[in-house]
Amino acid sequence: MKKGSRNTELMTPAWVLEEVNDAIVIMKAEGEILFANHAANELLNDEALIGQSIDHFFTIEDVAETKKKPVLVELDFVNTKMVQIKSWKLTDSHICLFIQPVRFKDQKEYHMYELKYQMSQPYEGLVLHQAGRIIDCDDSLAELFGYTKSELINQSIYSFIDSRYTNLIKNNMNKHLDTPYLVKAYKKSGFPLYVDVLPHPYPDKDGDLRIAVLRDVTDRVQSEKQIQFMAYYDELTDLPNRNFFMKTLEEAIAEIQNKDCQMAVHFVDIDYFKQINDTLGYQFGDALLQSCAKRLKQLLNTKNFIARMSGDEFLILQRDIKSKAEAEAFAKKVINAFQTPIKVQDFEIFTTVSIGISIYPENADKPNELVKQADSAMYVIKENQRNHYKLFESSITKDFKEMLTIENEMRRAIKQKQFEVHYQPQVDISNDQVIGFEALLRWKHPSRGYISPGMFIPLAEKTGLIIEIGDWVLREACRQNKKWHEKGYGPTKVSVNLSVKQFLQKDLVNKVKQILLETKLDSAFLELEITESMSMSNEAYIMETLKGLKELGVNVSIDDFGTGYSSMKYLSQFPLSKLKIDQLFIRGDKEQNQAIVKSIIHLSHSLDMKVIAEGVETKEQLEFLKSQKCDEIQGFYFSKPVAPKIAERFFA
């Protein structure tokens, strides 16, 4: 073994390393020097390095681990002031150090190099400047901004800094800060980026030169902005969200609290959105919401603020109003904005909005109360009229308490079996014979008597209780019809309405099959009615469900036909047995409605389907339907819905 080595059998032969001009040291992981070539002895000014500990010359932390970047170390005990050390791990217990002296052409280069290697973060750049004029920079900074070094020399740093940050740079330029400050800048291409700037003093005799370290933090800033956007904006519509609206409303209240000013909060709900969403799918629903948001954005001005509350609900703050009339006028403007159809994909959707309005400070002076009251007013108008607006009034609160009471009592009614099924006869128009009944839900409250279906069925839909109640109605209607058959009445069919939530159950076909088995009713005597809007849902799913019902032998009809937007494609392809003309077209404007009824009857027969008209109340209506060869009718002209025992008289 040559002089100058110890235990180097596992490494490159020492004579090879001696031929290398650069300093090489091999050491144990704990720091004992095993080998040092001649260049290392000279550089470190010690001929007896072997056996010494490396920490006599460098800190063990600087050299003990393999690093991607060289370590810059200043030596106080030799003429060479700075060395660069690169470490390699030879084995688990042996490390090789490659040591090079660093020589600088002048003091400027030394200070910039020294400062650079004190920093360990990625994407750094160094610039030496005089009052903002670039004297020198490193390659990293030039690359960061997309320039060459020569292009940057003598250029003003303000030429690629966003002008809004000019004063910030000027105020901090001559400071020595411990933490950086953020600046927005632009690359040569014009692409924006964000950099952290940390100014440092430069030791020149005049003291007018400064060094700054720049670090690219664009990704971090964009992430922070994304988080902020998510906190205050709705991702789907790009509108402010509820949080932003409540913050803005709170600030607006504080601003006018002691002034004689009024504001209005408009709670806007898209009518029939749930049906559209359920039938055409969530992607279509999202696209519709985006289009609705664009309509609302057209109403933006300096006095209002628009946000998306959630789902199909939007909020509008109308500032600086003089009277309720101004709030009503703006609500009408919003409603009128939706009078023209919205084109989404291949559909033209005629949608409307319902709006509830609360006034500050008349109705409330707290943000949450104002939004709550506007929501309450919207709910009332949506339930009663739609495509309209309503100002909040104190009686609404009372009505809401009533609604909550009804919800609780409805849950109790399920357990206590307070619900009943009444039956309205359906008549063959050619011979006046009863050929079936429509099963209709009724609620007989123990103290209030019969409660209007219009009061509790929408609430059952909203709460989800409609699934349990609807299943009971289906089972009870089948049981009653089978009982009539066993008595020798009939044979008659029974029609049962399905809610949207019922129809969209994945196990609907099996559920119907099970009920038919339980009640032993022949499937030919059960007819299910679905609304026109349901027939426009996911085509593949609807087709699968309808085919499953047809295979059971159950007929399916379209209820309230003419009130939705059915496609001829759906009507011709789906296995449907009947169309029911909505009572809206049997009553009202005689000439116009008769033309519509004629068209529906003709359409139904051309598709080989029967047609039934509901809401028939007069002999004149009956005679018109006869003349147009309508197949079946039902309405008060024959009978209102009645209890099962009374319905039996129609079999006589």
All structural domains of the chain: 14-101 (3.30.450.20), 107-222 (3.30.450.20), 234-392 (3.30.70.270), 406-651 (3.20.20.450)
Q: What is the pLDDT of residue 424?
A: 96
Spatial distance between the Cα atoms of 38 and 25, rounded to a whole number of angstroms = 10
d(CA 234, CA 256): 27
**Residue 68, pLDDT score:** 54
Using DSSP's 3-state secondary structure scheme, residue 636 falls into: coil
Full DSSP string of 481-512: HHHHHHTT----EEEEE--HHHHT-TTHHHHH
Largest CA distance in the chain: 127
Between 271 and 587, where is the model more confident?
A: 271
Point out which residues pair with 620 in neighbouring strands: none
Give dist(CA 381, CA 363) in Å, integer. 18
- The confidence band for 11, taking pLDDT boundaries of 50, 70 and 90, is low
271-280, 308-317, 624-633: lowest mean pLDDT where?
271-280
Q: Is the pLDDT reported for residue 568 higher than 60?
A: no
pLDDT value of residue 422: 97
Residue among 407, 359, 354, 406 nearest 384 (CA) = 354
Q: Which of 323, 313, 231 is nearest to 266 (CA)?
A: 313
pLDDT, mean over the chain: 85
User: Does residue 565 have a pLDDT over 50?
Assistant: no
Q: What is the pLDDT of residue 108?
A: 56
CA dihedral 627, 631, 635, 637 (to 10 degrees): 40
Q: Is 231 helix (H, G, I), strand (E, B) or coil?
A: helix
Q: Which residues have CB under 8 Å from 531's CB, separation 6+?
A: 275, 500, 558, 559, 560, 564
Q: Element (H or E) spanning 543, and its range?
A: helix 539-552
pLDDT band per the 50, 70, 90 thresholds, residue 226: confident
Cα separation, 211 vs 574, in Å, equals 77
62-91 per-position pLDDT tens digit: 776 655 566 767 676 665 566 778 888 888
Q: What is the pLDDT of residues 27-75, one digit of tens each?
A: 898 889 999 999 999 888 888 999 999 888 888 777 766 555 667 676 7
In whole angstroms, what is the distance from residue 318 CA to residue 359 CA? 10
3 state DSSP class of 554: coil
> What pLDDT, on the 0 to 100 scale, is given for residue 2?
45
Q: How far is CA 34 from CA 44, 226, 510, in A?
A: 15, 54, 82
User: Whole-angstrom Cα distance, residue 119 to residue 208?
Assistant: 23
Q: What is the CB neighbour count within 10 angstroms for residue 394?
A: 8
Closest to 469 measured CA to CA, from 514, 494, 502:
502
The conformation of residue 158, written as its DSSP 8-state character, comes to: G
pLDDT exceeds cutoff 90 at 262: yes
Q: Is the pLDDT of residue 1 over 50?
A: no
Q: Which two tokens stand for residue 641?
A: 């819905």
What digits encode the pLDDT tens for the residues 530-559? Answer: 876 665 555 667 788 899 999 999 999 988
Lowest mean pLDDT among 251-265, 536-550, 630-644: 536-550
For 90-107, the three-class secondary structure string (H helix, E strand, C coil) is EECCEEEEEEEECCCCCH
The stretch 86-105 carries a mean pLDDT of 80
Tens digits of per-residue pLDDT, 335-344? Answer: 999 988 888 8
Q: Highest mean pLDDT range out of 171-185, 203-217, 239-253?
A: 239-253
> According to the per-residue pLDDT averaged within each range, which of 60-64, 170-174, 412-416 is highest?
412-416
d(CA 217, CA 23): 38
Backbone angles phi, psi at 628, to 5 degrees: -95, 10
510: pLDDT strictly greater than 50: yes
Q: CB neighbours (10 Å) of residue 204?
A: 14
- Those residues whose C-beta lies under 8 Å from the C-beta of residue 179, and which sit 6 or more positions away, are 198
pLDDT, residue 121, reads 47
Question: DSSP states of 403-423 as a string?
Answer: HHHHHHHHHHHHHHT-EEEEE
pLDDT confidence bin for 473, thresholds 50/70/90: very high
Q: Is the pLDDT of residue 567 over 70?
A: no
Q: Report helix, strand or coil for 36.
A: strand
- Please name which of 269, 499, 469 lies closest in space to residue 389, comparing C-alpha atoms: 269
- pLDDT for 117 beyond 60: no
Average pLDDT rounded to a whole number, residues 406-414: 89
pTM equals: 0.47
User: Mean pLDDT lowest for which of 117-131, 517-531, 581-595?
Assistant: 117-131
CB 630 within 8 A of CB 611: yes
**What pLDDT, on a 0 to 100 scale, did the predictor assign at position 350?**
82
pLDDT at 122 over 80: no
Q: State the pLDDT at residue 360.
A: 94
Quote the percentage of the chain above a pLDDT of 70.
87
**What is the predicted pLDDT for the residue at 9?**
52
Give the chain's end-to-end CA distance (angstroms, integer).
Answer: 124
Higher-pLDDT residue of 137 and 404 is 137
Which position has the higher pLDDT, 348 or 649? 649
Whole-angstrom distance, CA of residue 111 vs CA of residue 254:
54
Backbone angles phi, psi at 351, to 5 degrees: -115, 160
What count of residues does the chain have? 652
Q: Where are the beta strands (DSSP E) in 326-474?
A: 342-344, 347-349, 353-360, 389-391, 419-428, 433-445, 449-451
CA 51 to each of CA 25, 37, 124: distance values in angstroms, whole numbers, following the listed order:
12, 13, 39
pLDDT at 536: 54
Structure tokens at 480: 């009653």
pLDDT the model gives residue 261: 87
